[in-house]
Amino acid sequence: MDYLQSPVGSIAAHLSGATSVFQKYGIDFCCGGKQKLADVVSKKQLNAPNILRELIALESNPWQQEKDWLNMPIPDLVHYLVSYYHERHRQQLPELIRLAAKVERVHGDKADCPHGLAQLLSETLDELEQHMLKEEEVLFPMIVHNRLTQAQMPIHVMEGEHIEHGQRLEKLLSLTNQGVPPKGACNTWQALYLGVRSFAQDIIEHIHLENNVLFARCLQGD
């Protein structure tokens, strides 16, 4: 594979461990997965030889054993997305909202308090819940029943919403210093930011699996 001329989402889907390399260099492989690696490297002024060296190393020494998403039966992939990621987000966000509200209430007088975080998380939950319901009730049944032509338009709509989720995630990480708590943060504050980092990791992997694996396979008529 010519990595520089390949879309980053395709690399992430085909090369085990590539997602870890991309996260290390701040490369968006989920919402920005259609961009060629060369374009991303140029735009972000990254060290292309180092990135290529790390990707090539994965070919013979995989970072980890991952599920064979590209060959997994599509109904099984859909079931995994719903039972793991959808349910996980439904558990994560209400607790994060509770923790954020407490931190803002108790530490509101501190300069590094994440003011507005609870509201942003509430908006994220509302938008994500609507999005997941559309997938569960409309798009995923089409896909499971192999109505792939009918599913194409909803897929493009979901991809557009994924971009919006990515933009909201950027705001979330910016507001929380990338999920790194300030020095001397209380246990609640630390737990909140740990949860934010976990949610960010999960939503990135979730969108990657949908955009670059499930939707890509459906659009190719898999």
pLDDT in tens, the chain (222 residues): 899 999 999 898 888 778 879 989 999 988 888 999 999 999 999 999 999 999 998 886 544 445 778 889 999 999 999 999 999 999 999 999 999 999 999 999 999 999 999 999 999 999 999 999 999 999 999 999 999 999 999 999 999 999 999 999 999 999 999 999 999 899 999 999 999 999 999 999 999 999 999 999 999 876
Phi, psi (degrees; rounded to nearest 5) at 36: -70, 145
Angle (deg, nearest 10), helices 87-106 and 117-134: 170
The number of CA neighbours under 13 Å toward the Cβ of 51 is 25
CB of 206 closer than 8 Å to CB of 85:
yes
Other CB atoms within a 10 A radius of the CB of residue 142 amount to: 17
Please state the separation of Cα 107 from the chain's center in Å: 29
pLDDT of residue 1: 80
H helix and E strand count, the chain = 11, 0
pTM, to two decimals: 0.80
The pLDDT score that the predictor gives to residue 63 is: 40
Amino acid at 41: V
